[in-house]
Amino acid sequence: KHRMNEVGKVWGGMKQVFNNYSLGKYLGSHVSVDGRIDVEVKHRMNEVGKVWGGMKQVFNNRSLGMNAKKRLYEGVVVPTALYGAETWNMGVAERKRLNVVEMKCLRSMCGVTRFDRVRNEEVRRRTGVVQELGTRAEQKRSFCPPVRVSSPTRWSHFGQGG
């Protein structure tokens, strides 16, 4: 009853599957057919937007010190953005997307906009956040040990160290 068409969609009550898009969520992360992480990064950045929107009044508060804002950013926003980053095989586009969202957050913390023409380095200096989010994601990935992959035709048996 289920038929496949030329782009890989599955019809007939099943979830649609595309060749380079997400199959769904597994343990809180989006799984892609070909191992790309663009769907997962986009989802993480949407989650950051939700968190940032909920805390916007706190971050835009002029009476709250920058140190308190930085601690909130480091304790809530960064973990939300980097959840599952250990499994990401990041490319240039994903790093750029992470860094763009981070700069939007940091500029909001400082109270400057793009129209104020303040450089990113100056915004980082004012907030005290020196390391880019893309670099943090790479470090989080390199912290995990590599996974040994054996041949897909080899059967691993219990007790043989497969």
What is the per-residue pLDDT across 91-123, written as a single tens digit (0 to 9) for each?
Answer: 888 899 999 999 999 999 999 999 999 999 999
Q: What band does 9 get if pLDDT is binned at 50, 70 and 90? A: very low
pLDDT average, residue stretch 142-154: 57
What is the pLDDT, as a whole number, of residue 154? 55
pLDDT average, residue stretch 19-40: 65
Torsion sign, CA atoms 149, 151, 152, 153: negative
What is the pLDDT, as a whole number, of residue 84? 79
Residue 15 reports pLDDT greater than 50: no
What is the pLDDT, as a whole number, of residue 148? 56
DSSP, collapsed to helix, strand or coil, labels residue 142 as helix
Torsion sign, CA atoms 82, 101, 16, 13: positive
Torsion sign, CA atoms 70, 71, 76, 78: positive
Q: What integer best gives the mean pLDDT of the chain?
A: 77
